[in-house]
Homo-oligomer: A and B are copies of this chain.
Amino acid sequence: MKHRKILMVVCDGVSDRPVKEHDGKTPLQVARKPAMDAVARNGVSGTMDVIAPGVVPGSDTAHLALFGYDPYRVYTGRGPIEAAGAGIALHKGDVAFRCNFAHVNDSMKVLDRRAGRIRSGTAALAQALTGMMLGDVEVIFKEGSEHRAVLVLRGPGLDHRVSEVDPHSESAVLEARALSSEAEKTARVLNEFVRRSNEVLSAHQVNTERAAEGLPSANIVLPRGAGSVSELTTLSERDGIRCAGVAGVTLVKGLCRLVGMETPDVRGATGGLDTDYGAKAEAALRLLDRNDLVFVNVKAPDIAGHDGDFRLKVQVIENIDAMLGTMLKDVHEEVLVVLTADHSTPVSVRDHSADPVPVSISGSDSRVDEVRLYDEMSAASGALGRMRGMDLMPIVLGMANRSSKFGA
């Protein structure tokens, strides 16, 4: 019994609803996508409630489910995932936050939540904050793209259940409150960090220069999305498989790292509409040589969905299809190919929706059902039926001859 390798391609938000102005079709039904359809035609398909029926998945909770983790058990907030994506090695007990560099006036009123979408100098600003000690709590701080950053608080007795600091509007910075008695210390430390960030950053050279140029100074940090770091069993520990992930978006990259995937930075894989599909395909194929499972996320369809742009979504589907075609040509026939989405982002909704996503799985000895096309409605009549995201990984491991027997 030969173990098969697994190539899992997740088209972020590709799943959609029919659009009247386009003959009642979805972008997947309109796009020319021979490679995707080949996966459907040569294997089994179904539709999948990624979290559960009627639940709108976030990208983070969705990917946890796709990797076989119960998001209701392991997910506390986006912070730790962003922090892992930024390359911070997290410890159990850490509390992590996504942050914005923002601009406040002297009375701590937020005038610009993104500090003029500051593009340069944030590394120096972060450098001035990281390493700070707040009592027995260490601050680990790292800049992200533009105004984005991540904060990790490390020390004894921390808890993520604190209220928001970011007012999300032009008003005063909020005081974090403990939402549970165990989080009182964290709320205190967090408020102290925000106050200190204002002190340190206001005096920073990067900001005096910005002021001279008439730009809003990045004179405070607004953390949000607090999450505790639990010890996640890695895929390698849980399933005995060596895994790698190719993703442009920090969030997805972070998630890959949290579950123990090798997640190289691929040049040109931006997580945007301009992502280099060829580079992603090449990286995935290379990683497949030394891994049992390679996961590829392409963010572009989600962006087109959020923009409500049907034609753009069709276009990026065709781009992904070309990338998939390249991979299928080079991939060994023994590899099991899994094609799916993490959630629907219908152009009519311009946001994630709870609509189930199509999934197709094909391998050289997989069963083959009647489904000929990879789209929402065709997949619904497939042999996989209507399944849950958390069942995907067990099913895939089973088809790849990587499951162990229960009983005799």
A residues with a Cβ closer than 8 A to B are 1, 17-20, 24, 26, 44, 46-47, 51-62, 71, 75, 78, 225, 251, 346, 348-355, 364-370, 376-377, 380-387, 391, 393-399, 401, 403-408
Cα A376 to Cα B367 in complex, Å, equals 8
B251 touching A349, Cβ below 8 Å:
no
A251 partner residues in chain B, CB cutoff 8 A: 408
Pair A56/B406 contact, Cβ less than 8 Å = yes
Which of B46, B59, B380, B383 is close to A369, meaning CB atoms less than 8 Å apart?
Answer: B380
Interface of A is mostly: loop
Task: Give Cα distance in the complex from A350 to B2, angstroms.
Answer: 11
Known: A59-B407, A71-B407. 4 other contacts (CB 8 A): A24-B368, A58-B406, A346-B365, A381-B383
Are A54 and B18 neighbours in the complex by a CB distance under 8 Å? no
Contact across chains for A405 and B58 when beta carbons are under 8 A apart: yes
Point out the residue from B346, B366, B405 that lies within 8 Å of A56, measured CB to CB: B405
| Known contacts A53-B395, A395-B354, A384 near B386 by CB under 8 Å | yes
Asked, given contacts A349-B401, A406-B58, whether A367 binds B387 with beta carbons under 8 Å apart, the answer is no
Top 9 A-B pairs ranked by shortest CB distance?
A58-B407, A54-B394, A354-B398, A61-B407, A385-B386, A380-B383, A54-B398, A53-B391, A78-B408
A394–B56 Cα gap in the complex (Å)? 10
Q: Report whether B55 and A394 are in contact in the complex, using a CB–CB cutoff of 8 Å.
A: yes
* A24 / chain B contacts, CB cutoff of 8 Å: 368
For residue A377, give the distance in angstroms from its CB to the closest CB of chain B: 6
Q: Give the complex CA separation of A254 and B266 in angstroms.
A: 57
How far, in angstroms, from A354 to B407 measured CA to CA in the complex? 13
By a CB distance below 8 angstroms, the chain B residues around A386 are: 46, 383-387
Q: Which residues of B contact A364 (CB under 8 A)?
A: 20
- Docked pose: A361 CA to B396 CA in angstroms: 28
CB distance from A274 to the nearest CB of B (A): 23
Report B-chain residues with C-beta under 8 Å of the C-beta of A57.
405-407
Question: Which residues of the other chain, B, contact A348 by a CB distance below 8 angstroms?
Answer: 365
A69 to chain B, nearest CB (A): 12
What separation, in Å, do the CA atoms of A251 and B225 have in the docked complex? 46
A391 in complex: contacting residue of B54, B365, B376, CB < 8 Å: B54
